[in-house]
Amino acid sequence: MTQMFSQIEKQISKSWIQYAVEPRIAKLTGRQIRTTGPRIAVMGNCQAFGVAYAMKVMDPSATVHHFSAIGRSRFANFDVLVKTLDTYDYVFSHEFLSGHLRGPGDSAELRQRLPKVTRLPAVTFAAFHPDLIYIQDPTQPLHGFIFGPLGPYHSAIAVFAYRAGLSLEETRAMFNENVFQALGYLDIWNDAARELLETTRNEFDVDLSTDLMKWARRGVFMYSLVHPMSYVLFDLSKLMWEKVGLKPPATDFSYYQIYDLARAEIFPVYPPIAKLFGVQGGYLFKLQNHHLANDVGDFLTLPQYLAACFRTYEKEGAERLGNPRVDAWLADESTKKLLIGLARENLKAGRLPTL
């Protein structure tokens, strides 16, 4: 029966039980409630759970709830969400589109109707995964992406190669340093850092400059463009607390952290890119697995990944594989000729990476 309800509907129900029912039961039974601290709600995308978890670690006495802005509710409407979030002392929210709940209502309307909402920035960073792109599905208005072997994550090189008519071996031969150099993949860091810092500072009034330097010293801190490691979200959570006047305590988060986003797809850091940062790279693509208790999950080598991509692209049809970056490569004859030439040169030289 519970499978009928979406995550946000389950959380709304749980919230009202904890807010309105459990205190009365505790009063009648004499049971002491442990959550005597502030009530905190975190609403948003795939990063929201990690933020909520970090805030709970920072104050175990707090009631911290995660409301997902992924997928759609079956029954709950936007008015119910607003009334539910109004019961919290602090509400942090990512930007989200209308359509997650029944009836109109996006993150801007939520802030308008509930002034206590604090905007929560999402951490995006492209330097480790410059080849990762999305393919928009125009038939799906909300989070509409064409899925491949790694869910919504696609390789721009693979999409280009398929649309250019290259073979699987020629495509595999493109995953070499000379191609990455030609595409500018080895010079992304400054632009990625500037975009992250300027967006969070200008749009959210959050300064991540010190934290970014700290993360960089630890090596790779992203699983993909949009999935940071848990310590990144912990540092962001501390800044958000300071923003609303809460004092983050000294907490050894590393002892309690869980790598929630590691259950999702993980895009590899290609070896020539990893070499720039002094870390281990590879071509091992991890498939999503949100049921670790039942199965250890699976991985794809580069040849396996590319073969699975081509099967997806063959099924979808080239006309549905539009992406601005790939479209630009294909439209520019000099770029197209250069990439195809490098692919064939690498193949002839036997440069065919696997892992």
SS3 string of 53-80? HHHHHHCCCCEEEEEECCCCCCCCEHHH
Residues 203 and 209 sit within 8 Å (Cβ to Cβ):
no
Does position 61 have pLDDT exceeding 80, yes or no? yes
For residues 105 and 243, the model is more confident at: 243
Element (H, E) at 118: strand 117-119
Strand partners, 40: 64, 90
Helix (H, G, I), strand (E, B) or coil at 175: coil
Of the candidates 322, 347, 348, 271, the one whose C-alpha atom is nearest the C-alpha of residue 139 is 322
pLDDT for the residue numbered 104: 81
The top-scoring range by mean pLDDT among 3-12, 65-74, 197-206 is 197-206
Please give the average per-residue pLDDT across 49-55, as a whole number.
97
Q: Which two tokens stand for residue 58?
A: 């920072």
Helices (H), ranges, the chain: 7-16, 22-29, 48-58, 78-85, 107-113, 156-164, 168-173, 177-183, 189-204, 209-217, 230-243, 253-256, 271-276, 302-316, 324-331, 333-348
Poorest-confidence range of 6-15, 20-29, 310-319?
20-29
pTM: 0.91
pLDDT of residue 1: 39
- Indicate whether 101 pLDDT > 80: no
- Give Cβ neighbours of residue 266 (< 8 Å, ≥ 6 apart): 223, 224, 227, 285, 286
Task: Look at residue 114 in the predicted model and tell me its pLDDT.
Answer: 96
Architecture per CATH, 2-120+229-260: 3-Layer(aba) Sandwich (3.40)
pLDDT at 134 > cutoff 80: yes
